[in-house]
């Protein structure tokens, strides 16, 4: 069996997330359906992780096995012509048989986009959280510095099953290699998180709590206490899905 | 009666263009409905021009009259909270009673976006024409230079009624102040047209014919002959609506 790796971008708006579901339209389901149609085989696609409904990706990675002879360029061409334009295959390559997009991943980068102006331009509405407030970026940056490193992130984990991967057996402990705030212009803020793994809705829970700090509702000290509490009820709300994009998966 | 001017941005995807229609959802219809709800008056909104179904705007201008006392900031707030996020009011100001968004306009700028890479990213799909071909940008630029100035653009006018404005009584003669091609990166091309008025589907017909030149199917000389022919059948096809954005209206 050949092992084929896909690099995938998608606009998650209107999709019920990555993972295949019986009655809802998902990214995995859409791609598997086209692969099954192309190969005549019942194809299982292994994604690097599951993204929530409404979350986007610029660089999701997935792999599947096939006994057929369809070339990588033919998969690229065929999938992009059959898939809706909201899902694009950026790269197709044949990899060694034991590569697994989830188990082999060493890390991921997520970005969360905020727009703080009075009006969010229509083109941006599916990719930015509109958050018309003054943001104390120094306070947010101080919290991001606290987050960097290895911590038990239980305060930021929503209930539900965990993705199994390299982080398996480590409970809710994860390592953030980098967490930073960029401000490309007066109104836009990009929160970026790079780590070895992420708990369920961890980035959205971090952002929801960081926004409380950003608008002065919570102190940096209190944020530090939330991290130490290992208690989901200590943290802030889950930020909306549509501001979040999976930028890259590292191997 | 007070005269109120709106600066409007919209994502035209899924709308049946600017102009109110009985059975279809249009930008003018959506805004008029909210204005009527806010003021209790039967409001008529005068746009600077009509955009086709699927065309976008970053800076449409429109005006309406009201006998009521709702302040400009209240219109701004109220309209943006009632309108769908695909339509945003960027500015509201009271203007002198005789201002008319269409008759007072001295010009407009349109931009048409092309993406020539193998894959169009999902976020760009509603705002770029995906056109995976090598573009001879020097040839296109030569045509744009030919277009600049005052010409009878009948070859690029689709049948249908004309917008009345400053250009009224001039038949199909219009002046293009500027027409240029920018290439922000290897795959993106922005065609920009600034003029005193535009015939029905003129920009899209210009782009459709320019693309024939861009991919070597038509020479610059032949393009010049199309302009002189004053015959719609001499020109190329109408480029798709979704690549086109009304950037600005000048007064």
CA pair distance A140, A235, nearest whole angstrom: 15
B80 touches chain A (CB under 8 A): yes
pLDDT at position B143 = 98
B73-102 average pLDDT score? 98
Distance of CA A246 to the CA centre of its chain: 4
How many angstroms separate the CA of residue B20 from the nearest CA in chain A? 20
With contacts defined as CB-CB under 8 Å, which chain A residues touch B80? 119
Provide ipTM, 2 decimals: 0.89
Question: Is residue B28 within 8 Å of residue B47, measured between CB atoms?
Answer: yes
pLDDT band at B183; cut points 50, 70, 90: very high
Q: Do B80 and A122 touch (CB under 8 A)?
A: no
Judge whether residue A25 has pLDDT over 70: yes
Q: Give the relative orientation of helices B202-214 and B137-147 as an angle to the nearest 10 degrees.
A: 140
Cβ pair A88:B119 closer than 8 A: yes
* Contact state of B90 with A11 under an 8 Å Cβ cutoff: no
B37 Cα to chain A: minimum distance (Å): 21
Please name the helix (run of DSSP H) or strand (run of DSSP E) that holds residue B213, with its range, or none. Answer: helix B202-214
Q: Is B88 on the interface with A (CB under 8 A)?
A: yes
Mean pLDDT (chain B, rounded): 95
Is any Cβ of chain B less than 8 angstroms from the Cβ of A85?
yes
Q: Please write the tens of the pLDDT for every residue from A36-45.
A: 999 999 999 9
Query: How does residue A209 score in pLDDT terms, banded at 50, 70 and 90?
Result: very high
Which among A88, A119, A125 is the nearest to B122, CB-wise? A88
Confidence of residue B155 (pLDDT cuts 50, 70, 90): very high
Q: Tell me the mean pLDDT in the region A195-218.
A: 96
DSSP symbols for chain A: -EEEEEEEEE--TTS--SS--SSS--HHHHHHHHHHHHHSS----EESSPPPTT-EEEEEEEEEEESS---HHHHHHHHHHHS-TTEEEEEEEEE-TT--TTTT--EEEEEEEEE-SSS--GGGTTTSEE--S---HHHHHHHHHHHSEEEE-GGG--SSPPPPSTTTTSTTEEEEEEEEEE-SSSSEEEEEEEES---TTHHHHHHHHHHHHHTTSS-HHHHHHHHHHT-GGGS-PPPPGGGEEEEEEE-
Closest chain B residue to A86 measured between Cα atoms? B122
Least confident window among A73-87, B45-59, B166-180: B166-180
Tell me the mean pLDDT in the region A224-235: 94
Q: What is the pLDDT of residue B101?
A: 97
What's the CA gap between B62 and B19, in Å, rounded?
12
Residues of A in contact with B126 (CB under 8 A): 123
Residue of A11, A24, A33, A52 marked catalytic? A52
pLDDT of residue B187: 96
B241 touches chain A (CB under 8 A): no
Does residue A164 register a pLDDT over 60? no
* DSSP β-ladder status, B56-66 and B173-182: unpaired
For residues A20 and A64, the answer to whether their CB atoms sit within 8 Å is no
Q: CATH number of the domain at B107-250, please?
A: 3.30.70.660
Q: Residues B150, B227: contact at Cβ < 8 Å?
A: no
- Cβ neighbors of B62 (< 8 A, separation 6 or more) are B5, B6, B8, B28, B31, B45, B46, B47, B48, B101
Of A193, A198, A200, residue with least CA distance to A109: A193
Mean pLDDT of B199-204: 95
Model pLDDT for residues B204-225, shown as the tens digit of each residue: 999 999 999 999 999 999 999 9
Concatenate the DSSP letters of all residues of A200-249 into one string: TTHHHHHHHHHHHHHTTSS-HHHHHHHHHHT-GGGS-PPPPGGGEEEEEE
| Residues of B tagged active-site | 52
Residue A52 designated active-site: yes
- Are the beta carbons of A143 and A226 closer than 8 angstroms? no
Instruction: Find the helix or strand (DSSP H, E) in which B250 lies.
Output: strand B244-250
Interface test with B, best of A56, A77, A87, A122 (most B CBs within 10 A): A122
- Tens of pLDDT, residue by residue over A98-120, are 999 999 999 999 999 999 999 99
Please, where in chain B does CATH 3.30.70.660 lie? 107-250
Q: Given this model, what pLDDT does residue A163 score?
A: 58
Burial tier of A245 (Cβ tally within 10 Å: 0-12, 13-18, 19+): buried
The answer to whether the beta carbons of residues A186 and A114 sit under 8 Å apart is no
CB pair distance less than 8 Å for A122 and B87: yes
pLDDT, average across residues B144-168: 81
CB atoms within 10 A of CB A243: 25
Query: pLDDT category, A170, cuts 50, 70, 90?
Result: confident
Please tell me the distance in Å from A57's CA to the nearest CA on chain B: 9
Tokens of B229: 């022919």
Q: Where in chain A is the domain with CATH 3.30.70.580?
A: 2-95
Q: Does the pLDDT at position A166 exceed 90?
A: no
Lookup result for tokens 């909104």: B45
Encode pLDDT of A123-146 as tens digits. 999 999 999 999 999 999 999 999
Can you give the pTM of this predicted structure? 0.92
CA Rg value for chain B: 19
Q: Do A58 and B86 touch (CB under 8 A)?
A: no
- Binning pLDDT at 50, 70 and 90, where does residue B161 land? low
Question: What is the pLDDT, as a whole number, of residue B170?
Answer: 81
Identify the CATH assignment for A2-95 out of 3.30.70.580, 1.10.10.10, 3.40.50.300, 2.70.180.20: 3.30.70.580
From B80, B91, B84, B117, select the one nearest B8 (Cα to Cα).
Answer: B91
B200: which DSSP letter? T
Residue A54 region, left (φ>0) first, then alpha (ψ -120 to 50), else beta? left
B102's tokens:
């269409």
Taking CB atoms and an 8 Å cutoff, what residues of chain A touch B86?
A: 122, 125
């Amino acid at each position: 069996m050949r092992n084929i790796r896909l690099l995938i971008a998608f606009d998650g708006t209107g999709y019920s997330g990555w993972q295949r579901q019986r009655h809802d339209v998902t990214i995995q389901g859409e791609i598997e359906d086209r692969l099954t149609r192309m190969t005549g085989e019942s194809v299982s696609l292994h994604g690097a992780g599951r993204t929530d409904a409404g979350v986007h990706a610029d660089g999701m990675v997935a792999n599947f096995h096939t006994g057929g002879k369809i070339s990588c360029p033919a998969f690229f061409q065929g999938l992009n012509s059959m898939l809706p334009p909201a899902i694009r295959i950026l790269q197709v390559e044949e990899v060694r048989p034991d590569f697994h997009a989830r188990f082999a991943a060493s890390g991921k980068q997520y970005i969360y986009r905020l727009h703080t102006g009075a009006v969010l331009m229509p083109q941006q509405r599916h990719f930015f959280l509109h958050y018309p407030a003054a943001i104390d970026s120094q306070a947010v940056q101080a919290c991001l510095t606290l987050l960097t490193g290895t911590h038990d992130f239980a305060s930021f984990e929503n209930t539900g099953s965990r993705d199994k991967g390299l982080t398996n057996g480590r409970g809710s402990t994860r390592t953030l290699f980098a967490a930073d705030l960029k401000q490309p212009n007066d109104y836009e803020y990009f929160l970026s998180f790079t780590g070895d793994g992420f708990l369920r809705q961890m980035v959205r829970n971090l952002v929801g709590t960081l926004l409380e700090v950003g608008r002065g509702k919570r102190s940096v000290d209190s944020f530090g206490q939330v991290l130490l509490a290992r208690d989901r009820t200590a943290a802030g709300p889950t930020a909306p899905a549509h501001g979040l994009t999976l930028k890259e998966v590292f191997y």
